[in-house]
């Protein structure tokens, strides 16, 4: 008996946040219900396809954690899997979504969104705030991260100032004593020469400098 025709998945995309990535697609309906799919991936440097852990009836598969690295690409292909056991597996469907110029793969595990950094501690002195932060994802060796800091006196938001810091412990200096200052921080990740991926802006928080 000729197996029934199974449609290719629709609206296939990689959703990525802080370099945790999922392959997602829209549910596809057929006469007897919906179609579930298996998915495989390979990186640009290897020719071996590996299977993603797609659990029926979910419409997304997580990529392995070891692939969540800066500039790590993953080509993908998806196969329809039977809605009923007798159907078996049929041919692979190659996916070719658009990717940034210069990337060798048909689908890139490239983080579309970076979250805001976490503020661990703020210490106040009469003329400065010492701020400790953590990045929104565990950096890999070779990652270049910097923090764009906006700060302002609480009563003069239009007169905000900016500084760029490369360390997770930094100081906002030349402040007035016993004055309330607010700041907001976002992370910037260098993805290739001269270009940075901008993270989400952290919600402002305010602290008073100390009294001398």
CATH of residue 73: 2.60.40.10
Q: Are residues 84 and 142 in the same domain?
A: no
46 or 155, higher pLDDT: 155
Same domain, 127 and 83: no
The least confident of 17-26, 45-54, 85-94 is 85-94
Instruction: Give yes or no for a contact between 203 and 117, defined as CB atoms under 8 angstroms apart.
Output: no
Q: What does residue 102 show for φ and ψ, rounded to 5 degrees?
A: 95, -10
Return the residue matching tokens 């020469």.
193
Residue 4 lies in a domain: no
Domain membership flag for residue 104? no
Quick: pLDDT tens for 179-201: 999 999 999 988 766 678 889 99
Q: What pairs with residue 158 in β-bridges?
A: none
> In this structure, what DSSP letter does residue 158 have?
G
Q: Is residue 75 part of a domain?
A: yes
Beta strand 60-62 pairing with 169-172: unpaired
Same structural domain for residues 88 and 162?
no
145-153 and 205-208 beta bridge pairing? unpaired
Q: What phi and psi, each to the nearest 5 degrees, are found at residue 86?
A: -75, -10
Asked if residue 108 belongs to a domain, the reply is no
178 inside domain:
yes
131 and 168 inside one domain: yes
For the chain, the average pLDDT equals 75
Do 69 and 133 fall into the same domain? no
Element counts in the chain: helices (H) and strands (E): 0, 16
pLDDT digits (tens, 9 = 90+) for 104-128: 444 445 556 889 999 999 999 999 9
Domain membership of residue 101 (yes or no) is no
Same domain, 76 and 143: no
| Residue 90 confidence (pLDDT) | 40
Question: How far does the chain reach from its first CA to its final CA, in angstroms?
Answer: 88
Do both 200 and 128 map to the same domain?
yes
Residue 155 lies in a domain: yes
The rounded distance, in Å, linking the Cα atoms of 186 and 203 is: 9
- The structural domain count of the chain equals 2
Q: Kindly tell me the sign of the dihedral angle through the C-alpha atoms of 118, 120, 123, 124.
A: positive
Q: Give me the domain span that covers residue 189.
A: 118-208
Query: Of the candidates 59, 94, 129, which is a domain's last residue?
Result: 94
CA–CA gap between residue 182 and residue 199 (Å, rounded): 19
- Greater model confidence, 157 or 175: 175
Instruction: Please check whether residue 149 lies inside any domain of the structure.
Output: yes
133 and 201: one domain? yes
What percent of the chain is predicted at pLDDT more than 90? Answer: 34
């Amino acid at each position: 008996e000729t197996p029934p025709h199974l449609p290719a998945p629709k609206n296939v995309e990689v959703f990525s946040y802080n370099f945790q990535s999922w392959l997602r697609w829209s549910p596809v309906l057929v006469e007897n219900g919906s179609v579930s799919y298996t998915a495989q991936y390979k990186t640009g440097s290897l020719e071996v396809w590996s299977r993603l852990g797609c659990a029926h009836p979910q419409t997304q598969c997580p990529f392995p954690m070891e692939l969540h690295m800066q500039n790590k690409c993953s080509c993908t292909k998806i196969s329809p899997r039977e809605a009923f056991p007798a159907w078996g597996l049929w041919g692979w469907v190659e996916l070719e979504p658009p990717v940034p110029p210069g990337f060798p793969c048909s689908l890139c595990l490239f983080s579309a969104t970076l979250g805001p950094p976490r503020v661990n501690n703020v210490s106040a002195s009469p003329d400065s705030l010492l701020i400790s932060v953590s990045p929104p994802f565990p950096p890999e060796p070779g990652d270049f991260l910097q923090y764009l800091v906006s700060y302002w006196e609480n009563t003069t938001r239009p007169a905000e100032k900016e500084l760029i810091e490369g360390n997770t412990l930094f100081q906002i200096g030349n402040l007035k004593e016993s004055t309330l200052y607010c700041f907001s921080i976002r992370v910037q990740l260098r993805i290739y020469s001269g270009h940075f991926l901008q993270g989400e802006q952290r919600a402002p928080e305010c602290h008073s400098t100390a009294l001398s």
